[in-house]
Structures are given as structure tokens and as C-alpha cells.
Structure 1
Amino acid sequence: MTHFSSAQFEPNYDEAKVPVFPIPDLLTTFSGEIIKNSEDWNTERRPELLNFFEENVYGKVPGTLDNASFEVVERNENALNGKAHRKQIEVTLQKGSRSLQFNILLYLPKHKDKAPLFLGYNFFGNHTITTDLNVLVSKAWTMNNEKLGITANHATEASRGVRAHRWAIDKILDKGFGLAVIYYGEVDPDKNDFSDGLHTLFYSKGQKQPKANEWGSIAAWAFGLSRALDFLEKEKQVDASKVIAFGHSRLGKAALWAAATDERFAGVISNNSGCGGAALSKRKFGETVGRINTSFPHWFCDNFEKYNENEEALPIDQHQLLALIAPRPLYVASAEEDQWADPKGEFLSAHYTFPVYGLFGKEGITSQRMPEVNQPIQNTVAYHIRTGIHDVTDYDWEQYLIWAKKFIE
């Protein structure tokens, strides 16, 4: 295997230097057959694309769990100043003698019997998304961030509420939606070390890391979202047919893969997910396949490394990942100053899904012209680019809620 250093991958931010490349055709199979209707898509094209992404990008899940159990460890029917029901649920995943636990923080609007819901991960612990003093502080390994009060890889009370600006909880509840969040490091710590986290449950004797076609961390995080959905299907106050996978940045990649592999998700929101998420890889703009595989070698399966500095050899591109969501609603969002994530590549990827959504009678984005900043396109396939940086803002959530009220609720 060729080894690269991140210094080799200087990002390109010049549209004039974007290579000319063919867009892999969504409606032509690898063997050259033309897909003419939604049935052909579901039985022929979708399975082969899903299999390619599994084998060569995100990696396959190498087995099945023996058991998944759920225990409500805390609840309050009058949370957030009387606005919400709150539950905290410990999820235990078992495989043989091994087990792993993670916690779901669930807020539901009080005025609704069965609520649609956004489900997503956070980066530093459930307690960081709210100032609610009753939310448990995670005991799992946490990435250090001195600005957020996290040192020695351990979250403390000092970091409570430090990421509340990314989660418009009041707006979400006011619109009749629930919110479920999970600290992603409890499912799989975000470090290049496969000695802990979800992967270890599935190792055979003596195995220390996944095989070349087996899952990296993105697929593990996606798996965790599906197990959370297993619980939500049992929760009487949740409309489990209307659960939207949500994610920002690397967790936007995980949300997309979760919705691609688990069709129970009613829709998906990709916020600034970039390379390996919504952005077209073949543009080689901003973060590239080689750079992401070098900086974060644990995110994808090892087979993906053969496309380092070799995107032209990919027989697929990320618009085909997005098309795996069809006919379910899909929202891709970018930020004007987030060139690393390639906003134009994210938009074009969403655009190129329109032939597949058309097979189902759904409205995609037919124009190749990007919308102006802060001028959303709100179809079954939606897109906006807003002012600002790589982040999640109230503006983003306002657009997501408008769209979700129309296409999910």
C-alpha cells in the first residue's frame, strides 16, 4: 500500500484547476444496462451502487449483534421550563461476551402525542448541546478542546452548553419536532485506534483492526444511528416513520451513510459534509480523497485508499451516494466560507440526483446553477448555501424545519 503524508495534498481552491471529468451515470449499470423505471432502480442499480460503497468506501458491517437493549436511566415530563419531555436512554449492544454502551438524549414536545424527530450525533457530549443541568456528562474518551473546557480527554461540567448554539432546541420543539442526540465518541472514539469502540465487538480471535473491506468509523457511527432508531421505534411518543438523520461535517457523512443503508430513515440532512459526504470527489477541490484518508485513516475502509490522488479511477461519485436516499427527502447545505468542504461540489452532487428522484415522481434540483447565498431551494431534494463558516446555525435549522414540515411531517 502506498503511504502518503498530509503535506502532499495542498488543497485547490481555484475553479480553473478543477479537472474535466465525466459524471458517472446514475441510470446506467456497471454492465451497461439502462435503468428506465423505479423498479429497475430498486432491484438492479441501487443494490450494486450500495455494494460498491460498502466494499470500497465506507466498509461492510462484519456481522450482526446478538442483542441490543435499552434502559431509560432518567426522565422528566416537565423539562426545559415546561416545554418538553426529556428521557435519557442507555443503549447496550452485545456480541458474544463483549458489550458497548452509549446514551441517547431525547427531547419531545409536550403538546404532541407522536412527534416526528431529528436524530443526530454531537462532537463533545450530550451535555454540551444544552444548558439543561440534568443532562448526564459523558464518561467516554473525548477529544481535547481547551476552548470548550475539555482537557485530559475527559468531559466535565465546565463544557456544559458550549455547543448549544448548534442545536436550536426551542425552535425544533416549537415546530412540533423532537430531537434525539448521541455523543459519537461513545459509539466509536474518533481516533486512529481500533482497540476500543464498536469495532471490537465483532473481532475474531486475535483480530486488532477491521479487514480492508470492513467498516471504518463513519460506518460505525451510521450503525449506531440505526440502533438508536431501533429504540425510537419502541418509543410511543415518537412517530418512528418520520425520523430524519441529521449530521454536520464528518457526522453529516455518517448521517448520509446511515440513511443510505437503512431505509427506515424518513429523510436525511447533510450539513457541510464535504469530501466523503455530499461533495463530488472527482472535482479535487478543497479536501481530497488522499488528504482525508491521510488525516483520518480510520474513517473509511482501507480499500478506499487506492483512490488517494486517483479519484479519476473511481467508477462512482458522491451524487450516487445521495441518490441512494431516493425517493426520501434529502437536504444538502453548505457555507460560503467553508471552501474546504467544496460548496459547489456539494450542490452539484445534490443536483445530479434529479434523474433518480424523477423516476419516483419527486422533484429534485434540475438546474446546474447554484442558488445565491441565503436563497434556499426547497424541493424533495433541497439545498442552500448560507453566509458564514463551517458550523450549524439558527439559519440552517430554520430552513430545515420549513422543509421538514413540508416533506416529512
Structure 2
Amino acid sequence: MFCSCSVMTGFAQPPVNYDEAKVGVYQLPPLLITNSKTKVRSSSDWDHTRRKEVLQLFKENMYGQFPGPDAEMHVVMQKIDSSAIDGLAISKQVRIYLSKGENGPYIDLLLYIPANTTQPVPVFTSLNFQGNHNISMDENILISQHYLDFLKFKKADASPTRGVQERRWPVKALIEHGYGLATAYYGDLEQDHADGWETGIRTSLAHQLHIKPADWSAIGAWAWGLSRILDYLQTDKNVAATKVIVMGHSRLGKTALWAGANDPRFAAVISNNSGEGGAALTRRNYGETLSIITKAFPHWFISKYQSYQDDVNTLPMDQHMLLALAAPRPLYVASATNDKWADPYGEFLGAKNAEQVYALFNKKGLGTDQMPAPDMPVGNTIRYHIRTGDHDVLLFDWMQYIKFGDELVK
């Protein structure tokens, strides 16, 4: 099994700080001051001026550009099972082609919808790490060819497996609470290694999308794929088109945040254990740092981001600004007690410092300045919890997201 966390391997790792007293002094870039040094005083000021500036900062310095819609996208229904999950769900397996014909890049989408409703339902959408066939033991799920290709690249056992990450995907619980689930393998878009861009969409769609591979990143490619999944979901009669929630864990939590920042059609944004480069404040010297992550996973970001390794305080933005780009939509940030590498307190502070934008829309944030106790969620339109346990996404996390959706999206 391959780890989905961003722990650095294969590199001489510098000393990692886990002492709050040694985090250092830092000052966050102002969120509500425009490039022309004027104060943002209203939601209109944010929407029409400052939001565009903040989004551009992340495009220029971190994740790269975000192409527009794919005019050549088309879909083929591969398989429908009307009695999935013990008859509770309908499953659809849809191939989303990203270019003309059927020889180019594609996303294989697995969609579960409750079987006992005639009304469109809200849907959680999230990329997965090991192929659709690994989220369930369901024999009807097609084996991911892109994942098998990745195993061969890694010189690992390429025999097909099922359900390896089933515990991360409580499909039955989601269905029973009236939600659908849409997921796809992130390697359909770009394989997660330094040379993945060579065979991923950053190369295969470069001419079509009018963007050079170096002008965006792996996280950008994965996030763009989430928007293409949303394009399809908005055409599916079983899906409530305005109630699609984007969620991601670890590096895919970073991806969900970037997708939500660029695509306002997502009804809500959820970051699970996204850490450095996600919800955690970059300027905090705690756990994984900008220097560590850009050395270990340079392909996740554009090359400009590496230039801040020696002095993170020169970075013109920080991650509270990324979280603020979700406003005024509901935002959930989650951490885990044993996941010090991801800096849980830094994730909490990221969410806390995004509140000032939500206030412009008269939306309430966390409602506290204090880190909550484990397993005690806090917040309103912005929510946060730190779950007891490790870097993972578990049923406890999903149950909070379901409650979040029930109150703010449904």
C-alpha cells in the first residue's frame, strides 16, 4: 500500500520542529488590504477586487494557472448497477473523455446515488489514491488501468486488488443519510511522481487547453479534474447540481481547497488533514515546512514556490488566504491529534484567520479563539475539528461532514 500522506522519503530530512515555543515570530500578509493599499470594507469589495488579487497570488507563486472548461469533453456510460450497496444505491461508472474521440486522456468516475429517492441528491466528490476499485470490495467496480500502470512504474505488485481503502469511504453511511458519492483516481489526471506531467494531462492537453506544462502543477491538474467531474455531475438528473461538496484528504485536501478556490460552483469545501500547502499556515515552523515539501514533492507546485525555501516570510500570501477564497460558502477544516507533521494548530489558525472574509458576508466562523478539545467540532459556516488518531480520514470525520452538509448545504 502506498502512503497518502506527504511525509518525505528518500531525502536527507532537516530537523523538524514539534515544539510550539520554537515556531518563531511571523506576521501574516494582510487579507483585507488590496494591492492599491485600500481597505476591503464589504463583500462587494472582496468579490470584485481583493478576491481576484488573492487568487492571482496563488496562481503566480504556488499552484499555477487554472485552465477554463474543456470544450471537447464528452462522456460514455460504462456500467450501471441498480442494486449496489445491498440494494440501497445505484452505482454509475462513467468515463469522462477530455479530448475528441476515445484515444485521449480520460477520468473514470464512480458515482453512487441513493436508490430510494426520486429527487436529486447532494453529492460529496473527492479524488481517491488507489483507484475506484480500492474504495470498495464491490466486484462490479472496474479495475483502474491507470493505477495498474502506476504500480508497474513503481515496480510493485501489479495484481488487481479491491477494497484496500474501503474504511476511508463509508459509502453506505453516506447513502443512508441521503448523499451521493462521486470519486475518481487522481492518477487518471497525473501520476503522483516528479515525471508524472510527461504522461498526464499537463502534457496531453497542453495544446488543447493553451497552457504549458510548467505553467501549472500536479495539484492544479488534479483540481482541474475535479471541476470536470462537476461538469458531468451537473448534467446527471440524480444529482442536485448546486449541492456538490468537494472534499479531499492529505495532498488531495490541498487539491480540494484549490478546486474550491477556482470553481465557485462547489457548494462547500472540505479539507481533511491537508497540512503544509493546504490549510496549515506556511509561516509556522512546525512539522512539514515549505522547504521540506518542495524538495520532496516539487511537482505538486510550480517552480516559483521553491524560491521561497530560504525565507518563507517573503511569500506574498499564506494559507488563511487560500481558505478565504471559499467564502461565503461553507468551509470545513479537519486535523488529527497524532498528525503533528500536518501542524493541526496551524490548520486551526488558517481557518481562524479566514473568518474576516466570512464576516464581510455576515457569516459566522469558528466562534472561538481556542483550539478545541479532540473530537469536539466547533464553528458555524467555518468549522473545525481535531480527531483523536492518525493522519487519515475515518467514519468520525465523515459523520461531521454529513452533519455539516445537512445544516449548511441540504
| TM-score w.r.t. length of structure 2 | 0.92
1:84-130 deviations in Å (ceiling 9; x for gaps): 01100001001799820120000001122211000001100101101
Q: Does 1:288 align with 2:325?
A: no
1:49-74 deviations in Å (ceiling 9; x for gaps): 00110111000136764400011100
The alpha carbon displacement at 1:248 in A equals: 0.2
Partner of 1:182: helix, strand, or coil? strand
Distance 1:40 1:378 in 2: 25
- 1:126-275 aligned at under 5 Å gives the runs 126-141=132-147, 152=155, 155-157=158-160, 159-193=161-195, 194-203=197-206, 210-211=213-214, 214-275=215-276
Greater shift in the superposed pair: 248-257 or 367-376: 367-376
Distance 1:127 1:86, change over 3 A: same
Partner of 1:370: helix, strand, or coil? coil
CA contact 1:58–1:301 (8 Å) conserved in 2 = yes
CA contact 1:322–1:353 (8 Å) conserved in 2 = yes
- 1:350-361 aligned at under 5 Å gives the runs 350-361=351-362
CA contact 1:63–1:202 (8 Å) conserved in 2 = no
The alpha carbon displacement at 1:290 in A equals: 1.0
The alpha carbon displacement at 1:203 in A equals: 3.4
Show structure 2 runs of 5+ residues with no match: 1-9
1:271-309 deviations in Å (ceiling 9; x for gaps): 000001000000021111111111011000111111113
Q: Does 1:99 align with 2:101?
A: no
CA contact 2:73–2:100 (8 Å) conserved in 1 = no
Equivalent residue in structure 1 for 2:16, among 3, 11, 15: 11
1:333-375 deviations in Å (ceiling 9; x for gaps): 0000000000000000001111111111111124321001111
Show structure 1 runs of 5+ residues with no match: none
1:257-284 deviations in Å (ceiling 9; x for gaps): 0000000000011000000100000002
| TM-score w.r.t. length of structure 1 | 0.93
CA contact 1:124–1:143 (8 Å) conserved in 2 = no
Q: What amino acid is the match of 1:336? A: T
Corresponding residue for 1:26? 31
The alpha carbon displacement at 1:168 in A equals: 1.1
Q: What amino acid is the match of 1:138? A: S
CA contact 1:66–1:95 (8 Å) conserved in 2 = no
Q: Does 1:117 align with 2:123?
A: yes
Corresponding residue for 1:316? 317
Distance 2:112 2:218 in 1: 26
Distance 2:293 2:322 in 1: 18
Corresponding residue for 2:307? 306
Partner of 2:57: helix, strand, or coil? helix
Corresponding residue for 1:56? 61
Distance 1:63 1:384 in 2: 34
Partner of 2:276: helix, strand, or coil? coil
Please tell me the root mean square deviation across aligned C-alpha atoms, in Å.
2.3
Greater shift in the superposed pair: 91-100 or 10-19: 91-100
Distance 2:101 2:206 in 1: 10
Equivalent residue in structure 2 for 1:84, among 89, 92, 96: 89
Partner of 2:198: helix, strand, or coil? coil
CA contact 1:195–1:209 (8 Å) conserved in 2 = no
Q: What amino acid is the match of 1:182? A: A
Corresponding residue for 1:390? 391
Identity across matched positions, percent:
45
1:156-179 deviations in Å (ceiling 9; x for gaps): 43x201100001111111110000
Distance 1:63 1:396, change over 3 A: closer
CA contact 1:90–1:101 (8 Å) conserved in 2 = yes
Partner of 2:146: helix, strand, or coil? coil
Distance 2:338 2:14 in 1: 20
The alpha carbon displacement at 1:151 in A equals: 7.0
CA contact 1:57–1:304 (8 Å) conserved in 2 = yes
Distance 2:148 2:62 in 1: 26
Greater shift in the superposed pair: 195-204 or 69-78: 195-204
Partner of 2:306: helix, strand, or coil? helix
Distance 1:262 1:155 in 2: 35
CA contact 2:67–2:211 (8 Å) conserved in 1 = no
Q: Does 1:37 align with 2:39?
A: no
